Amino acid sequence: MVDKVWKQDLRSYFQNVRIIEKCKADTLESFDQFCEFIAEPAFEALGDELKEHDIRSGYVRRKGRAVHFLVRFPGLKADNFHYVIVLPKNSIELKLKLILKGRKNKRAPLEEKEEEFMPSLEPAGIMKLSKEALIRDIIAHYRDFNYEALTSSV
Tell me the domain boundaries of the chain. 2-151
Mean pLDDT to the nearest integer, 59-71: 92
3-class state of residue 151 by DSSP:
helix
Cα separation, 12 vs 29, in Å, equals: 26
* pLDDT one-digit tens code per residue, 118-149: 999 999 999 999 999 999 999 999 999 999 98
Question: How many other CB atoms are found less than 10 A from the CB of residue 71?
Answer: 22
Is residue 86 scored above 90 in pLDDT?
yes
* pLDDT band (50, 70, 90) for residue 154: low
Cβ(109)–Cβ(80) below 8 Å: no
Closest CA to 103 of 78, 76, 132, 121: 78
